[in-house]
Chain A
């Protein structure tokens, strides 16, 4: 499968990136802004997918990694006055460190216990944000001041509040993470992860150190989610505790399930689809959580492979 046509997947992914680049010039203003947000959140979903789709570890606490990046970057700008690249790095580092600690603890469990433990750690993180309201703004959240959101590269500076700059920054982050995850999935390490998902005991017997492979996967996944959170804080300028709530741990699960777990492009498709469904539905009703709930149940009942997973099974076996 892998050696049949190594060029095809890369061509497809570069094509998707080119399409998103092209869309920037034709989309009307509203959808332009929405798509920038979707790309940042799709990065969150890709980080989640790496752990859930490829390693088979269902975490119910990924909101804490997203918000570690969100608060790491946001608070560094607001309280310490750091520049945009430094704040982004701070968010990324917070997420990676948190993921390392959580991974070391939570990976001692498996299955249902893993889900509950990750959910509880995320809950603690959420409550800590509320408890230190003097710094984090509690449930009101904080706004990152506009003059701070300027990226200075050499002699040129980019205003991240400008719609085009924002879209292109989101696209750059999305493209980098997409290509990284494609590379991981196609590497030997990616195959070990899938082997762990399929049969951990056998993988261990074959001489692989499954614990450190899983730990590395948690850290990579957490870092990607933190990158998404940091980008969200810097591009959209809002840091709030609702991003740390249980709901933001469930949403990436929903997006990945919908797009197709263990497919590299599934997270983008799932996020795009769900975001637009909710956006259109909220024009008619405020009960968008109802749609989330029904979508979750219908997906696990009738459509467990998701959109891309079904396409891969039927027609395109080479899809990564």
Chain B
């Protein structure tokens, strides 16, 4: 293959990564923006989504699309429920103190990971894609399913944006984000908003996991990379900014795809992590964000 098609392939792969990354990072960014909680267990919700997708799709016989659709609906709901319980039992009792919640979510990370290892096992298991149509380009064939991931992610992002900006729920969330005390004084049930946002963040990342699992595989350690990448995206994009998050996800996804096609993936990770740490040190509001309040 020549350089041009090779680059196109890398860019397409990068766009798929970006699409999934945008969803995972959006969940992390919402939780941080509204609740000021850094959820270190975010990657484990991703893993849970993928593992549940495997469990649900193998439990349902018949056409693979049936099992996949069931997983797409059920897995996020279950993950959201788990997140809700965790929020009620732990985060709320800590009064959402930023440092204490980090330690607590690290604890959740270990618990979820270990339970997945115990009950799901150390194997990586595939989920069959709902359809296997290949789009034939002049140079290579490309999976139609991968392109549909990009479309599904774009739809979800637009839907989230509409909810945030055009509905009463979104207004309540933004009010809580802006000033939780004043919001409370105006009769907004702030703790219920927090619980909802935490569950919503977990559900978004679970959807991303269900979408990606037919092309990667479900494994109990798969939450680590998305967590780090989501952190990177959220930091570059500016914490709590939806537009910045999406822009940064595309940027990081594309460069990750292209760099790891041409260079060693470890080197790519080293450079990316170092750059992001430097952004955080020298430009803490992010590349696209405005100065923090």
A42-63 to B contact mask, C-beta < 8 Å, 1/0: 0000000000000000101000
B107-136 to A contact mask, C-beta < 8 Å, 1/0: 111110111011000000000000000000
The verdict on B274 contacting chain A, using a C-beta distance below 8 Å, is yes
- Asked whether B269 lies within 8 Å of A127 as measured between CB atoms, the reply is yes
- Asked whether B107 lies within 8 Å of A253 as measured between CB atoms, the reply is no
The minimal Cβ–Cβ distance linking A231 to chain B, given in whole angstroms, is 27
The verdict on A11 contacting chain B, using a C-beta distance below 8 Å, is no
Q: Which residues of B contact A257 (CB under 8 A)?
A: 103
Q: Which residues of A contact B280 (CB under 8 A)?
A: 109, 113, 116-117, 120
The minimal Cβ–Cβ distance linking A282 to chain B, given in whole angstroms, is 13
- Asked whether B111 lies within 8 Å of A127 as measured between CB atoms, the reply is no
A255 to B103, CA, bound (A): 12
Q: Which of A111-136 contact B (CB under 8 A)?
A: 111-113, 115-117, 120-121, 123-124, 127-128, 130-131
The verdict on A106 contacting chain B, using a C-beta distance below 8 Å, is yes
- Asked whether B94 lies within 8 Å of A300 as measured between CB atoms, the reply is yes
Interface of A is mostly: helix
A106 to B102, CA, bound (A): 18
The minimal Cβ–Cβ distance linking B287 to chain A, given in whole angstroms, is 15
Q: Which residues of B contact A299 (CB under 8 A)?
A: 103
The verdict on A153 contacting chain B, using a C-beta distance below 8 Å, is no
With contacts A127-B269, A300-B100, A300-B103 taken as known, whether A293 is within 8 angstroms of B109 at the C-beta atoms is yes
- Which residue on chain B has the smallest CB distance to residue A58? B99
- Asked whether A296 lies within 8 Å of B103 as measured between CB atoms, the reply is yes
A78-111 to B contact mask, C-beta < 8 Å, 1/0: 0000000000000000000000000001101101
- Which residue on chain A has the smallest CB distance to residue B86? A297
Q: Which residues of A contact B282 (CB under 8 A)?
A: 108
The verdict on B54 contacting chain A, using a C-beta distance below 8 Å, is no
With contacts A120-B280, A250-B106, A294-B107 taken as known, whether A301 is within 8 angstroms of B93 at the C-beta atoms is yes
Interchain CB contact (< 8 A) of B284 among A109, A130, A294: A109
The verdict on A287 contacting chain B, using a C-beta distance below 8 Å, is yes
- Asked whether A296 lies within 8 Å of B106 as measured between CB atoms, the reply is yes
- Which residue on chain B has the smallest CB distance to residue A292? B110
- Asked whether A113 lies within 8 Å of B284 as measured between CB atoms, the reply is yes
Interchain CB contact (< 8 A) of A120 among B90, B115, B276: B276
Q: Which residues of B contact A250 (CB under 8 A)?
A: 106
Interchain CB contact (< 8 A) of B281 among A108, A123, A253: A108
- Asked whether A111 lies within 8 Å of B103 as measured between CB atoms, the reply is no
Q: Which of B245-282 contact A (CB under 8 A)?
A: 264, 266-267, 269-270, 273-274, 276-278, 280-282
- Asked whether B110 lies within 8 Å of A124 as measured between CB atoms, the reply is no
- Asked whether B274 lies within 8 Å of A294 as measured between CB atoms, the reply is no
- Asked whether B281 lies within 8 Å of A106 as measured between CB atoms, the reply is yes
A294 to B115, CA, bound (A): 12
A201 to B113, CA, bound (A): 40
Instruction: Tell me which of B109, B274, B277, B281 has the highest count of chain A C-beta atoms within 10 A of its own C-beta.
Output: B277
Q: Tally chain A residues at the interface, Cβ within 8 Å.
A: 36
Instruction: Tell me which of B231, B266, B281 has the highest count of chain A C-beta atoms within 10 A of its own C-beta.
Output: B281
- Asked whether B114 lies within 8 Å of A293 as measured between CB atoms, the reply is yes
With contacts A109-B280, A131-B267, A290-B115 taken as known, whether A296 is within 8 angstroms of B100 at the C-beta atoms is no
The minimal Cβ–Cβ distance linking A306 to chain B, given in whole angstroms, is 12
Q: Which residues of A contact B113 (CB under 8 A)?
A: 289
Interchain CB contact (< 8 A) of B110 among A127, A131, A290: A290
The minimal Cβ–Cβ distance linking B103 to chain A, given in whole angstroms, is 5
The verdict on B197 contacting chain A, using a C-beta distance below 8 Å, is no
The verdict on A304 contacting chain B, using a C-beta distance below 8 Å, is yes
Q: Which residues of A contact B110 (CB under 8 A)?
A: 289-290, 292-293, 296
Interchain CB contact (< 8 A) of A297 among B90, B118, B264, B278: B90
The verdict on B104 contacting chain A, using a C-beta distance below 8 Å, is yes
- Asked whether A112 lies within 8 Å of B98 as measured between CB atoms, the reply is yes
The verdict on A319 contacting chain B, using a C-beta distance below 8 Å, is no
The verdict on A295 contacting chain B, using a C-beta distance below 8 Å, is yes
- Asked whether B270 lies within 8 Å of A124 as measured between CB atoms, the reply is yes
With contacts A121-B277, A287-B114 taken as known, whether A111 is within 8 angstroms of B107 at the C-beta atoms is no
Instruction: Tell me which of A112, A120, A257 has the highest count of chain B C-beta atoms within 10 A of its own C-beta.
Output: A120
The minimal Cβ–Cβ distance linking B31 to chain A, given in whole angstroms, is 12
- Which residue on chain A has the smallest CB distance to residue B224? A246
- Asked whether B104 lies within 8 Å of A131 as measured between CB atoms, the reply is no
Q: Which residues of B contact A108 (CB under 8 A)?
A: 281-282
Chain A residues within CB distance 8 Å of chain B: 58, 60, 105-106, 108-109, 111-113, 115-117, 120-121, 123-124, 127-128, 130-131, 250, 253, 257, 287, 289-290, 292-297, 299-301, 304
Instruction: Supply 21 A–B pairs (Cβ within 8 Å), ascending by A.
Output: A105-B277, A106-B281, A113-B280, A113-B284, A120-B231, A120-B276, A124-B274, A127-B269, A130-B266, A250-B106, A287-B117, A289-B110, A289-B113, A289-B114, A290-B115, A293-B106, A293-B109, A296-B104, A296-B107, A297-B111, A301-B104
Which 9 pairs, one residue from A and one from B, show the smallest C-beta to C-beta distance? Answer: A293-B110, A296-B107, A293-B111, A297-B107, A120-B277, A290-B114, A293-B107, A289-B114, A289-B110
Q: A253-B103, A297-B107 are in contact. List 19 more A-B contacts (CB 8 A).
A: A109-B280, A109-B281, A112-B38, A112-B99, A116-B38, A116-B231, A120-B273, A121-B277, A123-B228, A123-B273, A124-B274, A127-B270, A257-B103, A290-B115, A293-B107, A300-B107, A301-B93, A301-B94, A301-B104
